Amino acid sequence: MTDTHAPAPAPAEEKPSGLKMPSAAALKRAAGRRKKAPTNAHKPGRVAGLNYDKYAAAIIDLSMLDPDRPKTVQRVAGHRRRLEAKGYLKLEGAPIVHGFEAAEVWIKTREQWLADREERIDVIRNKIKQGTMSDTALLKQRISGPDGMHYA
């Protein structure tokens, strides 16, 4: 392993400061990382590095998890059970979620997520038929815009 704090030889004109300066190589490596910090373009709630074209993620906030407080442990366990029951798999590898100090990420394929979302329309439609949901749940509006008229 490279010692990043090996003292670099001071230039002849520079007086020894007593500071332990990083090596030129370590400075170069650090410069290589200079654009890796999250920018304003990062979206809160998104998993860093996850290919969202292929996968959908569900997030569990772990920042309030305290092993000494059973309520918080039970809450997280409840979230895990829900995600398992919704067909998600836990993503390993310490993923980072923007906006979350500590989070657990569960994923399913984007294809499955889209299918599940569409299935919700069927669920709503059935509930409307059964009379347990209002028919306004799928109410469409007439939209007029520069591209003409349609319903949404």
Partner 1 sequence: MANQANVELLVQREMASVLAENLAAFAAAGQVTTGEGGGLSISGRSVGGLAVTLAKTATTMSSTDVANFESTVSTVHKVIKHTVNKRMLATEKGYAQIGAEIANKIIVSLNKDYFDFLEGLFAAAHPRAGGGAFQVGAGKKFIDTSLAFLQGEAGAGTQDNLLTSAFSEAALDAAIQLLNKYRDDRGVPLHLGMNGGLTLVVGPKNRKLAGEVVGSDLSGADMAINTLKPQIGAVVVWNFSTDEDDWFLIDSAIAPVGMHISVAPYATMGESTDGLFVDFVAQYEAAPFKAPYEQGIIGSNVA
Residue numbers of the site for partner 1 (CB under 8 A)? 40-41, 43-46, 52, 56-61, 63-64, 75, 79, 82-83, 86, 98-101, 103, 113, 116-118, 120-121, 123-124, 127, 132-139, 141-147, 152
Nearest to 57 by CA among 119, 111, 113: 113
CA–CA distance, 45 with 55 (Å, rounded to integer) = 14
Q: How far is the CB of 101 from partner 1 (least distance, A)?
A: 7
Q: How far is the CB of 129 from partner 1 (least distance, A)?
A: 13
Structure tokens belonging to residue 48: 């860093």
- Which C-beta is closer to partner 1: that of 23 or that of 72? 72
Structure tokens belonging to residue 140: 């469409």
Q: How far is the CB of 107 from partner 1 (least distance, A)?
A: 10
Q: Is 4 helix (H, G, I), strand (E, B) or coil?
A: coil
